[in-house]
Chains A and B, each alone.
Chain A
Amino acid sequence: MANPRPEQKLEPWKDPAATPYIRIEKVTKKFGDFVAVDDVSLSIYRGEIFCLLGASGCGKTTLLRMLAGFEEPTAGKMWIDGADMQGIPPYKRPVNMMFQSYALFPHMTVEQNVAFGLKQDKLPRAEIKDRVNAILELVKMTQFAGRKPHQLSGGQRQRVALARSLVKQPKLMLLDEPLGALDKKLREHTQFELVNIQEKLGVTFVVVTHDQEEAMTLASRIGVMNHGKIVQVGTPSDIYEFPISRFVADFVGSVNMFEGTLIEDEPDYVRVASKELGGNFYVNHGVSAPPDATVWVALRPEKIVIAREPPASDDEDNRVRGVVKEIAYLGDVSVYLVQLASGRMVRVTRPNMRRQAAAFDRITWDEEVWLSWDPSSPVVVTQ
């Protein structure tokens, strides 16, 4: 496989000499007959924000709870900072967790909530006070120190929960759907805040989420999970641009998936014939699959060019004609559903770069259009 990947700064997971901060080896967790986590192996490095991404019930929360010590693996081992975690109870792990429900103690004030963890460590009172004040300052909650959790809004509770976990200065923090309970605006704001705090304190974050956008914004790397297994691990752009399976391509972002047959397979390009498309894909990366194998071509909607005229090049591949059936105007982009001769619908998004005045001659319903794309755009997956 010779993927033309963009240049990146050196990352620990690419350095074979780097020792992982968390090592998960062949971990399986069963609840009765139900396999929640299935033979997962994973390495997470110091200072990372690692997102476990998957639909609900895929085992991501169970994996997180095993790191926190609330569940014991049925099989397999976990190491945090070189120490075997088997049989170590939650209160002895160098880990703090932020819960999806925030789990703020309702009978304590904000200040008491934040101080709780430090009191368990039997720190001197003056130090507790200083550290609590400092962390409340960091999350901008100083003025609410005397309030009870039910007197706070969702965003404020989230910040208190974050402060309560961070105040113990853990080396590893686990976050279970940290932004799930917030509305969209607040969420976007908080995502960046979280990343800032993480960079400032140098904590390793493991985040569980079902929201791909959240994972994309936060993560240094994403582990996509399905049915208890990790199906792909990579940087957000790796996952989005080079999904290794139909599931990943489909789960992260939206995608047009075409079934086809491999007709030419060279190290630097492949050609896939697709009945659904009514033509061939020419893709400028190789795949490892037997000839004539059935493969799938994933093509992101934003990578398709929609135009009235055929593309300028004479190339017969990577182009197809169709009729516009639906248009959805979303403000920043418009989504076109284009029907091909085979009857297959293709989703195309196009940024609305110019203001759509009435006089602007835009592609409209039932118009015949050409769809084309660059040979670097489609991704061929074999499973």
Chain B
Amino acid sequence: MIGRRSFLVTTLMAFGFAFLYIPILSMIVFSFNESRLVTVWAGFSTKWYVELFQNEQIINAAKLSLRIAAINATGAVILGTLAGFALSRFRRFKGRTLMTGMTTAPLVMPEVITGLSMLLLFVAMEHMFGWPAGRGVTTITIAHITFSMAYVTVVIQSRLSTLDESLEEAAMDLGARPWKVFAVITLPIIFPAILAGWLLAFTLSWDDLVITSFVSGPGSSTLPLVIFSKVRLGVSPDINALATLMVAVVAIGIVSAGLYMQRQERRRERDVQAALAANQ
């Protein structure tokens, strides 16, 4: 009975993993394909990687994307932390419900609508104040911050709501002013959440296509825009190579973060056990 159940579990798990990872796996395999034809295997080669690093358009787009993603993540974390703090710490203020709804609305808003409204806003602003002049890196960054801030707010708010408020009160009671309390107590304690929010905002910006395509201008092609425009002309193996590199970076990041957290948790548990044993 148990044997059969474990067989069932294994099968389901295998099916699930296959469903998730076979497409990625096939992409990785074909990135090492000798042939220009994407679906025909013609032997192992790394020539597409070489070609990729010689493709200035892609390298520049990747650099631009990284820059935008980093600026966006930093901006979103600052604004999102402030918003999350306001929402979880000031329980009663006018328009609180409205603010909660408005900050989380971008999570469920169709990207097409966000992108379109952003574009309209930027055009109107340019007419009225002359800023931002045209569409480009600035408008992309602003648009990215706007929608990724909502995600950061949710992450920070949920972390703050589990944070014992008496920690902040204790710091204040011991003579620290509110800003000092925030800087030396709240911020260090919620730092993992801030880091998580930063990474989330970074990836959101890194792979955003829809909103970017509305607010980008000439000379501001991010990596997803470049990939998308290339793929429209047919999938080429160097895109496979690029995607494989992106998967590798993401995988290394996730695995090392996971290992780090696991180690922290184990150490914590060991310490708690030791403290309890010492207390006996």
In the complex, A116→B170 CA distance in Å?
A: 10
Q: Mark B160-171, 1 if CB is under 8 A from A, else 0.
A: 000010110111
Overall SS of chain B's interface:
helix
Give the contacting residue for A96; candidates B167, B173, B189, B271; CB below 8 A: B173
Cβ A150 vs Cβ B268 within 8 A: yes
Interface residue? B2 (CB, 8 A): no
Cβ B175 vs Cβ A91 within 8 A: yes
Interface residue? B1 (CB, 8 A): no
Give the contacting residue for A116; candidates B171, B275, B278; CB below 8 A: B171
In the complex, A100→B276 CA distance in Å?
A: 20
Cβ B166 vs Cβ A105 within 8 A: no
- The B-contacting residues of A in range 152-169, CB under 8 angstroms, are 152-156, 164-165, 168
In the complex, A156→B279 CA distance in Å?
A: 9
Interface residue? A82 (CB, 8 A): no
Cβ B169 vs Cβ A90 within 8 A: yes
Cβ B271 vs Cβ A148 within 8 A: yes
Knowing A150-B271, A151-B272, A153-B276, say if A120 contacts B176 (CB, 8 Å).
Answer: yes
In the complex, A103→B278 CA distance in Å?
A: 22
Q: Give the one of B174, B185, B268 with max A CB within 10 A.
A: B174
Q: Give the one of A70, A91, A96, A117 with max B CB within 10 A.
A: A91
B189 proximity list for chain A (CB < 8 A) = 105-107
Cβ A105 vs Cβ B275 within 8 A: no
In the complex, A103→B275 CA distance in Å?
A: 18
Interface residue? A52 (CB, 8 A): no
Interface residue? B188 (CB, 8 A): yes
Smallest CB separation, B92 vs chain A (Å): 9
Interface residue? A95 (CB, 8 A): yes
- The B-contacting residues of A in range 128-164, CB under 8 angstroms, are 148, 150-156, 164
* Number of chain B residues close to chain A: CB under 8 A: 24
- The A-contacting residues of B in range 187-228, CB under 8 angstroms, are 188-189
In the complex, A96→B169 CA distance in Å?
A: 11
Interface residue? A240 (CB, 8 A): no
Interface residue? B246 (CB, 8 A): no
B174 proximity list for chain A (CB < 8 A) = 91, 96, 116-117, 120, 164-165, 168
In the complex, A91→B171 CA distance in Å?
A: 8
In the complex, A103→B268 CA distance in Å?
A: 18
Cβ A68 vs Cβ B275 within 8 A: no
A101 proximity list for chain B (CB < 8 A) = 164, 166
Interface residue? A97 (CB, 8 A): yes
Interface residue? A7 (CB, 8 A): no
Cβ A103 vs Cβ B166 within 8 A: yes
Give the contacting residue for A97; candidates B173, B268, B272; CB below 8 A: B173
Interface residue? B274 (CB, 8 A): yes
Knowing A70-B169, A90-B169, A150-B268, say if A117 contacts B175 (CB, 8 Å).
Answer: yes
Interface residue? B263 (CB, 8 A): no
B169 proximity list for chain A (CB < 8 A) = 68, 70, 90, 97, 99, 103
Query: Which residue of chain A lies nearest to B278 when distances are taken between CB atoms in the complex?
Result: A153
Interface residue? A309 (CB, 8 A): no
Give the contacting residue for A103; candidates B170, B176, B177, B180; CB below 8 A: B170
Smallest CB separation, A159 vs chain B (Å): 12
Interface residue? B123 (CB, 8 A): no
Q: Mark A24-68, 1 if CB is under 8 A from B, else 0.
A: 000000000000000000000000000000000000000000001
Cβ B275 vs Cβ A151 within 8 A: yes
Interface residue? A127 (CB, 8 A): no
Q: Mark A94-128, 1 if CB is under 8 A from B, else 0.
A: 01110111010111000000001100110000000
Query: Which residue of chain A lies nearest to B185 when distances are taken between CB atoms in the complex?
Result: A105
In the complex, A223→B275 CA distance in Å?
A: 37
Interface residue? B79 (CB, 8 A): no
B172 proximity list for chain A (CB < 8 A) = 70, 89-91
- The A-contacting residues of B in range 129-171, CB under 8 angstroms, are 164, 166-167, 169-171
In the complex, A155→B177 CA distance in Å?
A: 29
Q: Give the one of B166, B171, B268, B275 with max A CB within 10 A.
A: B275
User: Please, could you name 29 A-B residue pairs with CB atoms under 8 Å apart, sorted by A?
Assistant: A68-B169, A69-B173, A70-B169, A89-B172, A90-B169, A90-B173, A91-B174, A95-B173, A96-B173, A96-B174, A99-B169, A100-B166, A101-B166, A103-B164, A103-B166, A105-B167, A105-B171, A107-B188, A116-B171, A116-B174, A120-B174, A120-B180, A150-B271, A151-B271, A153-B275, A153-B276, A154-B279, A155-B279, A156-B279
Known: A68-B173, A155-B279. 9 other contacts (CB 8 A): A91-B177, A96-B174, A101-B164, A103-B164, A116-B171, A120-B175, A120-B176, A156-B279, A165-B174
Which residues of chain A have a CB within 8 Å of any CB of chain B?
Answer: 68-70, 89-91, 95-97, 99-101, 103, 105-107, 116-117, 120-121, 148, 150-156, 164-165, 168
Which residues of chain B have a CB within 8 Å of any CB of chain A?
Answer: 164, 166-167, 169-177, 180, 185, 188-189, 268, 271-272, 274-276, 278-279
